[in-house]
Amino acid sequence: MTATTLQALDKQAKTLPADLASLDAWLDQRLEEKLAERERKKVRSLAIIATKGTMDMAYPPFILATTAAALGWNASIFFTFYGLELLKKELNAKVSPMGNPAMPMKLPFGPEWLRHMNIPVPNAIAANMPGFESFATAMMGRTVKAKGVPTIKELRDICIESDVRLLACQMTVDLFSYRREEFIPEIAGWIGATSYLAEAQNADVCLFV
């Protein structure tokens, strides 16, 4: 051993408690300090499984992922089944009133008292009125714009710029006979559920949307 090493060992030995009970307490304290230090240095992670392709269900995964990225977390979204629509070059996400029977309809224009009203829409109207889905989508789009909320495409672009990993389910691609050319080039991987679950099990937060 070098003289420097011997000096370091001698210095450390002098800091150790003299009796066994004190040594145990000292070791416990050191362990707690090391664990706390590792916890402070740990980079949090978020794993999201996105299964829906409608406009209203597109916002949660993108908003959560961009928020996590802004906090310095590692974030990823696994798009499967209809969620794959959110990775297409041409976004065509619409609101589905039939799929959301409790969804409040609010007008993005008019007097304040009217804009704050929840307008219930019976399923019979939502299902049978021609063009109602397009109307609801347009109203939602105007509300989003009026409130200064980014569009789905803007949120997706923020995800890409923030290094959120966007992953496509290869099984769904094969199932629906999609072509990879239909999707944005920034997809980080074309993987299966087994591969993503191996990643998700180690995440601090895992969400199914």
* pLDDT tens sequence across 139-149: 676 767 777 88
The pLDDT of residue 6 is above 70: no
Cβ pair 74, 46 in contact under 8 A: yes
* pLDDT tens sequence across 22-76: 767 767 777 777 767 766 777 899 999 999 998 889 999 999 999 999 999 999 9
φ, ψ of residue 175 in degrees (nearest 5)? -60, -45
Instruction: Parse the chain into domains and list their residue ranges.
Output: 45-99+139-208
CATH T-level fold of 45-99+139-208: Hypothetical Protein Ychn; Chain: A, (3.40.1260)
Among residues of the chain, what percentage have pLDDT more than 70?
Answer: 65
pLDDT at position 34 is 73
DSSP state for residue 183 in the 8-state scheme: B
Apex 165 CA angle, 163 and 167, nearest 5: 155
Cα 178 from Cα 201, distance rounded (Å): 28
List, as one string, the DSSP characters of 102-144.
TPPB--SSS-HHHHT--B---HHHHHHSTTHHHHHHHHHHHHH
pLDDT at position 36 is 72
